[in-house]
Each structure stands twice: as C-alpha cells, then as structure tokens.
Structure 1
C-alpha cells in the first residue's frame, strides 16, 4: 500500500480502524495530535501520526492507560527506561493477581460443571448398583462438627463457610461429609462428622485431611436423602455376599444437592465406605 503524507480524520479512522470520536479525544490529550490546514483549518494527520497507532494499540492490548501510553511515547520522564520498567513491573503484578482471580473462577466453574455432568449421567442411566473402586488420594480442608440430623443445614454449612473465609480461602467441588459411625447414620442418630471440601488455594497442614488412597465400596443414591439408609443396607448386603469387611465410618459425596437444585428428585449422592477382604488387616 502506498501511503500519503497527509490524512483527513475520515481516512485516518478507516485506515486505522479507530472511531472519529476516539481520534478527536486522542488529539485533545495530545496522544495522537493532528495538524490544521492554514487555509481552511481542516484537521489532518501526518504519516508520523499514522505510525503511532500500532504502538498505542499494543500498549492498549497490555492494559495500560492512555496517560501511561502518553508518558511512554513522549519519553518525558527524567529516567525514561527506569520509569517504563517500573510501570511494566506494576502491570505484571496487576496481571498476575488478575490471572489468579480468573484461575480460581475457572476451577470453581469447571468443578461444578463436572458434577452436573456426572449427576446427569447417573440419573439418565439409573446407576445405583454397588461397586468397588480405588479412590485417588486428595488433600481436603476439614472441620469437625456435630451432625444433628439436619442434612441441608450440614451441606449448606454456615459454620464451614465461616471457617473457609477465616482462612482467606475459597472452596470448590462437592461437599463431602465423613460420618464417624455408619451404624449411627443408618439408624438416624446424632454423631461427630468431618466436613470436607477441596480448596482453590492449598490449605495448611493443620486443616488438611487426606481423603482417599483406599479401596472403597461405592454406590450412588438417587433422590431424596431421607431414605439413604436403604443404600447403606444394600451396600452392607453386597459386602457380606462378596467377602468384604466394611469400615466403621462412611463418606457421603454430594454430587448434586441443595447447592444445585431444590428438586430432591435430582439429588445424586455417592456413598463411599472403606473396605478390605476377609482375612486382610482390619480397615
């Protein structure tokens, strides 16, 4: 393309893909200054003005303000390069913080999306048979509490929420409750529990619980939690028929629950119990 020496604002706007309004403002703050014809006072831009546009667009891409761009281009600071380096370091720190905020959001959204997909698959295929599987080890945040038979209150847990906020952390993935006594869970009695959930920032050792790293008997419970004891009894029968000993405690992993929907017919809960073969060391 052959370039001219002078461009009227309409030509400049079209050539550089910048609105006339923006060009007028850039002219006003002397970022892309225009010239005036002596005889008609029409605004025009020189080839030098044209070449400043890609530079400004690049600074804009990096997130710098118009004032910062102007300072860079003019080079008016006493120590130009030190000033530019300082601005770039500040921008890097700013972008690192923004990157971390986006990472946290991404992890939370992706984990919830995967839970909804899992629940849909379980419900659509009516997956509620007992199986045995290895659960990969993961470090979860925990808090000891007392379970008083109000599962909704435990799952959407104000005390645990405060616990997370006190550590300046955020949670993601399914709520998991560790019941100290599966017998009491089946019989509907109060008991000690551990609230468990993954955090988006690694938590300190004192608040960390290692979940998994074991073979576990697993069964999805579909629908309302009120009759979840039937799933426990089914798992106990399966273990007895297949030569497995079940541990005293249990874990309930809430795939979809009150966090997702108030329709209890769409609740999906995975019950997990540590197990061992008859003759193996006790679980």
Structure 2
C-alpha cells in the first residue's frame, strides 16, 4: 500500500522553492490547488502537487503565462501540449531572428572596445545602425523624478510581474521624455518599461504600445558615467546624414548590475526614432 506524504504549505514552499505567498496566489487563480484545506484555513499538499509545481516552474521558464500553463494542465492532452510548445518555439525563433543583428553589432562593438586602435582615442567609435522596429506591448511606470529613482521603479515593475499573469517578452528599457535635449538628472521625465504579453492597468502601472518605426541605434559597453559618448555619436550621425530626431531616446539594458559588478562590462543599446528630412518636408 502506497503511503501518501502530506506537506504543510511551509514544507511545500521549501521543497518547491516557491514562496507561500505565490502558492496562495496559484490557489486563488486555480492553477495549483492544495490536496485539502482544513477548516482553520491551513493548506496541505502531496507528491501530486510537487509534480505539478515542477511543471509550472518549467513552463514559466519557457516564457508561458500562468493562464497558458493552466490551460495545459486542465486539458491534460498530449496533442494540445505539443501544439502549445510548437507555438512557443515559433515565437522564440522569431525573437531570435529580430535580435540577430544586435548580436552581430555587440560582437563588432566588443572587438572595437578590445582593439588597440581604441586605447589612445579620447572618444570611442560607434557603429550606427538604422532599421525599422515593430511596435510591442510593454508594462510601464512613468514619473518625473531624479535618475537615482530608476532602479526602484524597475524593481516595482518586476514585483508586478511576480504577482500577476504577465510574462516578460523582451529586454527592460527606459524611455527619457526630454524636451529640446534639456535633460536634468535631478528632474527627469522617466518611463521604465518591460515588454509583456498582455494588458495591465492598476495603480501607477499600465501597459501601452511602444511605437515602432525607423530608429537609429548603437551599442555601448561601459559605465553609465560615459554614456554621453554614444548619444553624441548618434546625434552627430543624424545631422551628417540628414535625419531628424522625432521622439524620445530609449535605453535597452542587456547587461547591468543584475548580471555583473564590473561597470565596464555593462551593455546598453541606445535607440532614437528618426525620419529623413526629405520625408518630413513632404
């Protein structure tokens, strides 16, 4: 006779490495129900739920939303699961294609940074790339505040992701809503954004479409103390090539303090929307 082992929510949280708060949330949305709940409200779990939480964590790592995972678990159908996995593979392949040129640019920039030619230059050279970008949905928070508050704003966005059904679908970014290039780090109009899969609107947090269009961009490797150099390069390039800047600048953070303690290894993409003078004059 098989012995059924029962775990308290604390024991189950320790085994599964999922917080009790998140387990209660999963129960609330009927993604993962306890084996039983006593009259005093205490939740108890079994080995069956351990198998389910392992699958949930695996699918979350693949980028599935909680609603998508719930659908897979409820249907419990092999063919449906195969179709769901194939759709995710197709989405990831599309994302890989869209970011392929960024990888090439990063490699070029890294070689330039490590090359002897750049050691004695007062200003580094930057490869400027122009291309059309697709619009996408992003979870955002916008404040007029000082630049030092950006990290806290980003942390608050991640907290929303953790407690909602949203799935992060791209690299986090900051949009600097600057008027006439008059940027004041102590009084800046800052919008922090994380690409997500679904709409959300609660309190200071909201989703909106980040506009697509023609952008010029470059990759910067190094401390934020010298991030003015790529901006100078982009603005100079736009003037030399008869392009006008038509919107706020965007910084995408591919490597920052979350991945390395060495600021010289930070990797940031600066993107600025542009239009040719010919198009503007039409």
1:180 aligns with 2:201: no
Counterpart in 2 of 1:192? 189
Deviation at 1:228, TM superposition (A): 0.9
Counterpart in 2 of 1:235? 234
Counterpart in 2 of 1:125? 111
Deviation at 1:252, TM superposition (A): 0.3
CA distance in 1, matches of 2:211, 2:108: 21
Deviation at 1:168, TM superposition (A): 4.8
Counting only pairs closer than 5 Å after superposition, residues 10-89 of structure 1 correspond to structure 2 as 29=1
CA distance in 1, matches of 2:261, 2:242: 39
Counterpart in 1 of 2:252? 253
User: Are residues 161 and 247 of structure 1, via their aligned partners in 2, closer, same or farther at CA, if it must alter by over 3 Å?
Assistant: same
CA distance in 2, matches of 1:244, 1:217: 10
Counterpart in 2 of 1:150? 148
Counterpart in 1 of 2:200? 204
Counterpart in 2 of 1:221? 220
Deviation at 1:188, TM superposition (A): 4.0
In the alignment of these two chains, the number of paired residues is: 188
Q: TM-score, normalised by structure 1?
A: 0.55
Deviation at 1:231, TM superposition (A): 1.2
Stretches of structure 1 lacking an aligned partner (at least 5 in a row): 1-28, 31-91
CA distance in 1, matches of 2:265, 2:177: 27
Q: TM-score, normalised by structure 2?
A: 0.55
Counting only pairs closer than 5 Å after superposition, residues 260-275 of structure 1 correspond to structure 2 as 260-275=259-274
1:106 aligns with 2:62: yes
Larger Rg: 1
